Amino acid sequence: MTTACRTFLFGIAVALLFIAPSAFADTASMTLTGAGSNVMGGVYIGPYTGTINGVSTSVICDDFAAESYIPEAWTANVSTFAGGLTYVKFAGGTETQNYEEAAYLALELLAAPVNSKQAGQIQYALWDLFTPGALNGLSSTDAAAAQNDLTNAANNYSSYFSLAPGQLAEFTFYTPNTNDAITCGNGPCASTPPQEFIVVNTPEPTTILMLGLGLAGLLFMGSRQRLSVSA
């Protein structure tokens, strides 16, 4: 590859670092499409399913006090740890710690057997982070197990988030935008804004762009080498 080509590709990479964060909207279109069949304390347990900008995705609810219905649709503000949790619902002095514990519990929930008491206990532990008292509707056994999950998250979340970035899952938080209308489709509709949801392992748009740029560069170099060999 010539020096001019290398300089050109480097220039594109630098430009993307500056424009990529602003090139993508901080909102997403969400529709709740399924709640599974696992129930504890009279409430459906996650992960649920939904579509985000038309793509089917597993979503985990962190909001016990609000309600969402199928096939309710709304606009959500998008937050990440890298972006400073700009739009999350439960802002406060311990905001980052609580959301890191919630992310840790979301990973535990995804690893739990489907339709199990363990999944329900982890879900309630996650809910109790932001809605203290969420455990009150559980049996004493389930409440004690959920409290143990909360303690486990508090003791271990910091060790998890100290891992190298390449070893961390990626977490995105979708918080209802209260300025936009809620669409109820053919089903019921909540009288208040829908729940806040967590999505795990969602690649960031900047990562995809940079990966695509790297692949394009490799393909370009390979084609140049083939031309040199055949010339």
- Indicate the pLDDT class of residue 17, thresholds 50, 70 and 90: very low
Given a cut of 90, whether residue 222 has pLDDT beyond it is: no
Residue whose structure tokens are 């409440």: 143
Handedness of CA 174, 162, 20, 1 (dihedral sign): negative
Nearest to 97 by CA among 160, 166, 170, 26: 160
DSSP assignment of 46-78 = S-EEEEETTEEEEEEE--SSS---TT-EEEEEE
Given a cut of 80, whether residue 8 has pLDDT beyond it is: no
Structural contact between residues 66 and 192, judged by C-beta atoms closer than 8 angstroms: yes
For residue 192, the model assigns a pLDDT of 83
For residue 208, the model assigns a pLDDT of 43
Domain ranges of the chain: 25-196
Which pLDDT tens digit goes with each residue over 159-208? Answer: 999 998 888 999 999 999 988 889 887 778 877 899 999 999 734 444 44
The pair of structure tokens assigned to 104 is: 């840790």
For residue 219, the model assigns a pLDDT of 53
Our CA dihedral for 189, 195, 200, 204, rounded to 10 degrees, sits at 90
What is the reported pTM? 0.76
Percentage with pLDDT > 90 across the chain: 63
How many other CB atoms are found less than 10 A from the CB of residue 20? 16
Q: State the average pLDDT for the chain.
A: 83
Q: What is the CA radius of gyration of the chain?
A: 21
Given a cut of 70, whether residue 215 has pLDDT beyond it is: no
- Indicate the pLDDT class of residue 153, thresholds 50, 70 and 90: very high
Our CA dihedral for 56, 57, 63, 69, rounded to 10 degrees, sits at 20
Which pLDDT tens digit goes with each residue over 82-123? Answer: 988 999 999 887 899 999 999 999 999 999 998 999 999 999
H or E, element range at 51: strand 48-52
Given a cut of 80, whether residue 218 has pLDDT beyond it is: no
Residue 96 is classified by DSSP as H
- Whole-angstrom distance, CA of residue 35 vs CA of residue 50: 9
